[in-house]
Amino acid sequence: MIREIVAKTILSRVSQVDTIFGLDYGMNLYRGCQHRCIYCDSRSRCYGIDRFDSEVLVKSNAIDLLRDALSRKRKIGIIGTGSMNDPYMPVEREVGLTRRALETIADYGFGVHVITKSDLVLRDIDVLKRIARVSAAVSFTITTIEDDLARRVEPQAPPSSSRLRAMKALSDAGIETRVSLMPTLPFIEDNWNNVSAIIEAAHQHGARVVIPWFGMSMRDRQREYFYRQLDQLFPGLKQRYQRTYGADYSCPSPHADDLYARSHALCERLGLATRVMPRLAPSAEPLSLFDPPL
* Residue whose C-alpha is closest to residue 189's, from 263, 89, 248: 263
Residue 288's pLDDT band (boundaries 50, 70, 90)? very low
**Is residue 112 in some structural domain?**
yes
Mean pLDDT of 134-140: 97
Q: What residues pair up with 138 in beta bridges, in sequence order?
A: 114, 177
- Residues across the chain: 294
Whether 275 is in a domain gets the answer: no
Judge whether 168 lies within some domain: yes
Residue-range definition of the domain harbouring residue 226: 2-270
127-136, 208-217, 273-282, range with the lowest pLDDT: 273-282
Are 182 and 145 contacting, i.e. CB atoms less than 8 angstroms apart?
Answer: no
283 pLDDT band (50/70/90 cuts)?
A: very low
Amino acid in position 222? Q
Burial of 74 (0-12, 13-18, 19+ CB in 10 A): exposed
CA distance 121 to 124: 6
The CATH number of the domain holding residue 173 is 3.20.20.70
Q: How far apart are CA 119 and CA 123, in angstroms?
A: 8
What total number of domains does the chain contain? Answer: 1
- The average pLDDT across 20-32 equals 92
For residue 276, being part of any structural domain is answered with: no
Quick check: pTM over 0.75?
yes
List % helix, strand, coil for the chain (3-state, nearest 5). 40, 15, 45
Cβ atoms of residues 49 and 290 within 8 Å:
no
The confidence score (pLDDT) of residue 279 equals 59
**At residue 130, does pLDDT exceed 70?**
yes
Please report whether residue 50 resides in a domain.
yes
**Above 90 in pLDDT, residue 293?**
no
pLDDT band at 18 (very low <50, low <70, confident <90, very high): confident
Q: What whole-number distance in Å separates Cα of residue 273 and Cα of residue 154?
A: 26
The pLDDT, as a whole number, for residue 15 is 77
Cβ atoms of 172 and 138 within 8 Å: the answer is: no
Residue 20 lies in a domain: yes
- Asked whether residue 283 is assigned to any structural domain, the reply reads no
Give the residue-averaged pLDDT of 73-102.
95
Statement: residue 252 has pLDDT above 80: yes
